Amino acid sequence: MRLTRLALALLPIALLLGAPWARAIAPTQMPTPALEARYERLIHGFRCMQCQDESLANSPVSLAADMRRQIRQMLLAGDTDRQIRKFFVSRYGYFILFKPPFVWKTAWLWLTPGILLLVGAVAAGVVIHRRTLLVQSDHEEPDPRDGLTRTQERGR
Amino acid sequence: MIPELGEFALILALLLAGLQALFGIGGPALRRERWVAAVNPAVAGQFVMVATSMGCLVTAFVQNNFTVRYVAENSNSQLPLFYRVAGVWGAHSGSLLLWIFLLGCWTVATAFGTARLPKQFSARVLGVLGAISFGFLLYTLLTSNPFIRLTTPWADGLGLNPLLQDPGLAGHPPMLYTGYVGLSVAFAFACAALLEGKLDREWARWTRPWTTAAWAFLTCGIVLGSWWAYYTLGWGGFWFWDPVENASFMPWLMATALIHSLAVTEKRGLFKSWTVLLAVLGFSLSLIGTFLVRSGILISVHSFAVSPGRGVFLLTFLVVMIGAALSLYAWRVPHLKSEAGFELTARESFLLFNNILLVTACGTVFAGEMAPIISLALGLGKLSVGPPYFNPTFLISMLPLLALLAVGIHARWKRGGLGGQGRTLLLTLAAAALVGCVTAIVIFHGRGVLAPVGMTLGTWIIFSSLIDPIERLRRRIAIPRAVLGMTIAHIALGIFVFSMTAVQGFTAERDVALANGASARAGGYTFQFEGVGPLHGRDYGGSIAKVVVTRDGRAVAVMHPATRMYWVQHTVTTKSAVLFHDGSNILVALGQNLGDGRWSLRLQVRPLVSFIWIAALIMAFGGLLAITDRRYRIEQARAQETVAALAGGKT
């Protein structure tokens, strides 16, 4: 009895969790190859709002199917990619875009690789400059293969 | 009875880990030889207790003991024995126990491996490992005890997550954790050296094999995960930049940097403080990886356990552990100066660039990983960071890295120069450019610049890596295992880059709706759909399709993609049919019944994709081969002689 109730309670959760594992395989026909390519690019760039970490292209849930239909209609109506993106961002926020926008609060994210490379380049320049000066007056550490004698000396 | 025994053993292990840390770190500091002598027994005792505990949990799973909550939640009497055992690490608590068990294995291995090194040093290494183990044991006992009983036992368990019922994923966590945990050995070596205040080339030589081993396991673990995701999730990619994938990739990047930096420290006694810092960072990232995955802070496919309380503990542990290591570092770093120099074109410079680029790549991934959290804090709302961010930013540091690799492996130490290989190198570049461009443009009909560039770089690395072995063969000079291992790993990287470029650039992917007997084309292959039949499994049912694949009128294979409905969990999973043919990987996934006899199918043809995983495995093999190099063993034998000589001198 208790078990049946538990199973019943868990069922919707299981269904909810289970749903995203199945994949949407949704054949579509766009009138021209150019539109088809744009459609593919767009649905791969949007996140499914109902599942975890899947694009609209892969999501099997009905919300995603509705959104795909919406994109198809907007494309057929002659909307640009930009307009379609704007439409979805205004409804669902930046979360829907797999590509983070470049606004001032996300600028740090896009600039990080460049800044890191710059810092690295400066550091490399300083290190190499210092080391090239040392090459002339080089006191190399003795090779650890001679460790026997060194350790013995330290031992005394 | 058995679960209680397991819990009891875990508590004893906690006490012994505490003693191990106390004796190992305190003994040398307070000059108490008895404490130092007691470290190894503590290690042995702790391992026996942890193994007992692990054994008890496995037994509970094998015996279908559904009075234990964790077993009931993650297993089922219908489950085959193999997956009942794999169920042990199917969720949070058990994977933590696995973590601790593997740490125990590494610790025992370290105890044997460092037995010939100075006693104080060995004790310190084991002491640090004890402290890590103590933290994780405490964490397990306080927040995630897998042995807790249910007040009312369930008649049957909920079953293992169907996604995890796969040989690839059953092996993925142990492998990945072996790598994660292995980095704690490198960390312990670094801490021991800092505690001792002595960090020299000998230290680097001792540390290298351990780091390389951890790196190799980490590589294998990531490969298994990627392979699993490829054919189970059926999304048709080998890498998604999923937060959890990134969590395992960041320590890998750090470990790769560490391996190369250790090479400089061993050879020239340079970059000491940097090497130590990398060891600390690599371990921190593996802890952060555990934290990120297990706290559920990142919503992703893998975060099965959503438990903020556990996250807070792990974060505290992280701060204490890393804080202690970094303070130690700050205290000792002024003593780590070295006066050796090198020229701009020397091997040292190239390895310096290698490190900077790898750390940059790691930092880039880290930024992308943290962006959703930071964005929430900034009040920007939720943010997703996906491949459109990671792919280009990652390339920025990877492209120069690959080019520098091809040149750098020929650079000489200290004085620099290519040792007369400059011309050969240019020739290999020309040959590689020819191969790359012909493959990309003529064979695959590719457009754009990235594909030829990627293929050229991959080929160049292979050719360039072959120069030295061919030269040695011709002159009949033996190749040391370490050099051979490095060469193999670099060639594997070349293969990896080449095939990854092919996959990224030339994948054919189509979703089609097919009626019985109809066919569709993708990537040069023809797929004829021949209907769907019912599927009867042990704990699932579903549909299985028959698809006949042909190329140019010749039969290639019959493929059977399926969808499975798991009765116990009411979960539907796709079981894509995967086929390896002429270097290409063909994937057919079954969708749903569209009515009037038509089914939706996804057809994918990915050229060379299998070589991505093969190459990564070869890379790991190269690492393991390098560990068996004679000089690591000779060094140990010498150290033993030293100790013997010292002991002889005293008496």
Domain ranges in chain A are 11-96, 107-155
- Give the pLDDT score at B131: 95
Contacts of A147 in chain B (CB under 8 A): 202, 638-639, 642
Separation between Cα atoms, residue B222 and residue B204, nearest integer Å: 26
Contacts of A93 in chain B (CB under 8 A): 381-382
Does B230 lie in the same domain as B343?
Answer: yes
Among chain A residues, the shortest Cα distance to B388 is held by: A99
Name the token pair of B33: 């030889």
Percent of chain B whose pLDDT exceeds 90: 48
Token pair 């961002």 is at which residue? A89
- Counted across chains A and B, CB pairs separated by less than 8 A come out at 206
Could you tell me if B169 and B232 are in contact, meaning their C-beta atoms sit under 8 angstroms apart?
yes
Token pair 């996250």 is at which residue? B311
Say if residue A136's pLDDT is above 80: no
Does B190 lie in the same domain as B145?
Answer: no
Could you tell me if B384 and A98 are in contact, meaning their C-beta atoms sit under 8 angstroms apart?
yes
- Give the pLDDT score at B486: 95
Contacts of B641 in chain A (CB under 8 A): 148
- Give the pLDDT score at B38: 92
pLDDT tier at A99, thresholds 50, 70, 90: confident
Degrees (nearest 5) of the Cα angle B568, B570, B572? 120
Say if residue A19's pLDDT is above 70: no
pTM of the predicted protein model: 0.86
Mark which of B165, B181, B210 sits at the end of a domain. B165
Alpha-carbon distances, residue B591 vs B188, B228, B471 (angstroms): 50, 19, 54
Query: What is the total count of domains within chain B?
Result: 3
Candidate from B349, B375, B388 with C-beta closest to A106: B375
Does B360 lie in the same domain as B331?
Answer: yes
- Give the pLDDT score at B295: 60
Candidate from B243, B300, B600 with C-beta closest to A27: B600
Candidate from A52, A99, A120 with C-beta closest to B299: A52
Token pair 């090497």 is at which residue? B275
Q: Is residue B631 part of a domain?
A: no
Among chain A residues, the shortest Cα distance to B362 is held by: A113
- Give the pLDDT score at A25: 63
A135·B343 Cβ contact <8 A: yes
Tens digit of each residue's pLDDT (9 = 90 or more) over B321-355: 889 999 999 998 887 788 788 988 899 999 999 99
Task: Name the minimum distance, in Å, from the CA of B383 to any CA of chain A.
Answer: 4
Domain A11-96 sits in which CATH superfamily? Cytochrome C biogenesis protein (1.10.8.640)
- Give the pLDDT score at B133: 96
State the angle between helix axes of B347-377 and B387-408 in degrees (0 to 180), rounded to the nearest 10. 170
Point out the residues of chain B with pLDDT beneath 70. Answer: 163, 231-236, 294-309, 311, 634-651
Separation between Cα atoms, residue B366 and residue B358, nearest integer Å: 12
What burial class does residue B331 get, using C-beta atoms within 10 Å of its C-beta: 0-12 exposed, 13-18 middle, 19+ buried? Answer: exposed
Separation between Cα atoms, residue B574 and residue B597, nearest integer Å: 20
Say if residue A17's pLDDT is above 80: no
Average pLDDT value for chain A: 73
CB atoms near residue B175 (< 10 Å): 20
Task: Name the minimum distance, in Å, from the CA of A33 to any CA of chain B.
Answer: 13
Does B201 lie in the same domain as B121?
Answer: no
Contacts of B201 in chain A (CB under 8 A): 141, 143-144
Q: Is residue B438 part of a domain?
A: no
Task: Name the minimum distance, in Å, from the CA of B18 to any CA of chain A.
Answer: 31
- Give the pLDDT score at B48: 96
B201·A143 Cβ contact <8 A: yes
C-alpha A59, offset from chain centre? 17
B339·A94 Cβ contact <8 A: no
Q: Give φ, ψ of B571 to 5 degrees.
A: -115, 140
Does B207 lie in the same domain as B136?
Answer: no
Separation between Cα atoms, residue B70 and residue B35, nearest integer Å: 38
Looking at residue A32, what DSSP letter applies? S
Q: Is residue B121 part of a domain?
A: yes
Candidate from B152, B352, B592 with C-beta closest to A127: B352
Q: According to DSSP H, which parts of B92-242 are helical?
A: 92-113, 119-143, 167-196, 201-228
Does B254 lie in the same domain as B160?
Answer: no
Q: Is residue B421 part of a domain?
A: no
R_g of chain B computed on alpha carbons: 27
Give me the CATH number covering residue B530: 2.60.98
- Give the pLDDT score at A8: 40
pLDDT tier at A37, thresholds 50, 70, 90: confident
Q: Is residue B632 part of a domain?
A: no
B638·A145 Cβ contact <8 A: yes
Does B345 lie in the same domain as B236?
Answer: yes
SS3 B575: strand
Q: Is residue B359 part of a domain?
A: yes
Domain that holds residue B576: 508-609
Separation between Cα atoms, residue B574 and residue B233, nearest integer Å: 7
Does B371 lie in the same domain as B226?
Answer: yes
Does B251 lie in the same domain as B326?
Answer: yes
- Give the pLDDT score at A14: 36
Q: Is residue B628 part of a domain?
A: no
Does B179 lie in the same domain as B151?
Answer: no
Does B282 lie in the same domain as B364?
Answer: yes
Could you tell me if B383 and B375 are in contact, meaning their C-beta atoms sit under 8 angstroms apart?
yes
Q: Give φ, ψ of A57 to 5 degrees.
A: -65, -35
- Give the pLDDT score at B376: 78
- Give the pLDDT score at A10: 40
